[in-house]
Structure 1
Amino acid sequence: MTQQPNAKYRPVQPGTNFYFPPQHQDQQPGIEGLMQPKPIIESDSYKGSGKLKGRTAIITGGDSGIGAAVAIAFAKEGADVVIPYYYEYENEDAKRTKNRIEQLGRRCTLIVGDLRSEEHCRAVVTHTIKTYGKLDILVNNHGVQFPQHALTDIATAQWDATFHTNIFAFFYLTKAALPHLKDGSTIVNTTSVTAYEGRPDLIDYVSTKAAIVGFTRALSQNLATKGIRVNGVAPGPIWTPLIPSSFSAEQVATFGQDVPMKRAGQPYELAPAYVYLASEDSSYVTGQIIHVNGGTMVSS
């Protein structure tokens, strides 16, 4: 059975395959508005119950994809959301997410700028505190990937850019946020199934995602006695703007077909994992990684 999803939520039926028309975007991060079909970032069946009522969250990369799905789910649970993202050309995606959050009765602030800059990361946190008076949840979610066939094809500039975006920025933002986090605050880091499986054409990306796992575990131990929990989510193949902006049109057409469930995941399918880790439902969970990957077995 083959089905083409669109931005409107529909339950995913067992045995359903999603077909993606061949497509490619030349600029990374990609644009959600240009994707066919559009990623599904919200589940109509997800009803919030106040799990994050009164909380303030920073969600990097919350303009689209997984980050947008998490931002909307957090808003449904009662949180206000700050969304830092990289480039002005992503504004339409970001505004669409902001509008939805405000429709849900929560506040949302968009901050565009380079998270590879430690100064900018400090400014994001400062603006959050000035606007909302506090910070309760940090979701480090942004990332880039640039496939290459061999290690010798990876330019030093690409290696540096991937590390500065995918892990240095996590360090900068977390360091800036920590003085404002209190007992009961949470940090959730997005890693990847590739941190456990590896992937031959994403050596630099996989290295950063493995570093995020180590960062999450070590930081969780460092902050445990302060009551600040640190966990992660390791997505499998998820239909986000990163995919058509990373891979060839031919690779996109079969994206996600190699997992046991035989389909790519949609962003909304990850959001509940982030809600769980950000809320008191996971009060005895820290240093852990939740795997949302369509059935791939990994050793964590």
Structure 2
Amino acid sequence: MSDKPTSFARQHQAHQPGDERKMQPQPESFMKDYKAAGKLTGKIALVSGGDSGIGRAVCIGFAKEGAQVAFIYKDEDADAEITCEHIRKAGAPVLAIKGDIASAEFCRDTVRKTVAEFGGLNVLVNNAAEQHVQEDITDISEAQLRQTFDTNIFGTFFLTQAAMEHLSDGDSIINTTSIVAYRGKSVLLDYAATKGALVALTRSLAGSLTERNIRVNAVAPGPIWTPLIPASFSADEVENFGASSPMGRAGQPDEVAPSYIFLASNDASYMTGQVLHPNGGTVIGG
């Protein structure tokens, strides 16, 4: 049997993207049991939303595989510093950049800082996202709709545009979509719409970059225990989060990060325009 938790303490956070330090139990996001093999030695990676959750596990996993890592975070300074500490423990340099990816200028400046610090860019992970629960489409304000698309879609576009002049033969872009892009979620209409758009963007961009041999893929996690969960749902919903998945529990960030490591490495050299589905057993056709 799995030793992963099947239920969680009742909890809610009023601020997104949420604070990992306040979660009970703590997510497994430090890649403690991961066995590295030098798959990303010499690579330079930039990860949005790298301070906690899936992004944190990806950053630490990349570092363990030999990459130099820059990551973006919005405002969770303490979480970001913990991520930095674990990247350094893995023996890798790290650059943490605070700001809002909804700004095209911030995205351009972030890429410039990453290239100036490490000398290039090989892997871009578009992972930062937000979601806001609303029971009815008429309850979604224009401000919420625009903010969700600003972070989840426009931020991905802006970062990708800024990275393009630095990416070259053999490099990789990885987008974080979601199971809700395929299954929908009645209380996350705008979030689900952005994640569906990311699937289409992944496939379209992959086709446009094949001649340059820049691979574009995505990961579509199912229910994963990250700060976004208590920052989005009520304490009652959080308590049983993930229980309806075929495996009967939520996943942990450490169980998702290996998908990104695979897609960033030469092991995935014949994969582009594809989506991986670490989701606890839900079968996705497409």
Give the TM-score of the pair, scaled to structure 2.
0.98
Given that residues 15 and 261 in structure 1 are in contact (C-alpha distance below 8 angstroms), is that contact kept between their aligned partners in structure 2?
no
Aligned partner of 2:53 in structure 1 is: 65
Matched, 1:119 2:128: no
1:39 corresponds to: 27
Match of 2:240 among 246, 254, 257: 254
Partner of 1:8: none
Q: What does residue range 124-273 of structure 1 map to in structure 2 within 5 Å?
A: 124-273=110-259
Please state how far the C-alpha of 1:46 moved relative to its aligned partner: 1.2
Question: What residue is the counterpart of 1:19 in the other structure?
Answer: 7
Distance 1:44 1:59 in 2: 20
After superposing on structure 2, the runs of 4+ consecutive aligned residues of structure 1 that deviate more than 2 Å are 13-17, 42-45
Asked whether the 8 Å contact 1:17–1:262 carries over to 2, the reply is: no
Specify the SS of the correspondent of 1:292.
coil
- The Cα of 1:128 is off from its aligned counterpart by 0.6
Q: Which residues in structure 2 correspond to 1:78-89 (within 5 Å)?
A: 78-87=66-75
Task: Please state how far the C-alpha of 1:19 moved relative to its aligned partner.
Answer: 1.5
Q: TM-score, normalised by structure 1?
A: 0.94
Task: Please name the residue that 2:18 is paired with.
Answer: 30
Moved more, 144-153 or 39-48: 39-48
* 1:188–1:274 Cα contact (<8 Å) kept: yes
Residue identity (%): 51
Structure 2 partner of 1:49? 37
Q: CA deviation at 1:44?
A: 2.9
SS at match of 2:209: helix
Secondary structure of 1:81 counterpart: strand
String of CA shifts for 1:56-88, please: whole Å, max 9, x gaps. Answer: 10010010000000001100100011011111x
Q: SS in structure 2 opposite 1:246? A: coil
1:292 maps onto 2:278 in alignment: yes
Matched to 1:93, the amino acid is D
- Counterparts of 2:71 and 2:4 in 1: how far apart (Å)? 33
Change (3 A) 1:258 1:113: same
Q: Which residue of 1 aligns with 2:81?
A: 95
- From 259, 262, 265, the equivalent of 1:279 is 265
Alignment partners' CA distance in 2, 1:192 and 1:123: 28
Whole-Å separation in 1 of the counterparts to 2:24 and 2:265: 33
Q: Judge conservation of contact 1:239–1:264 (CA < 8 Å) in 2.
A: yes
1:74 alignment counterpart = 62
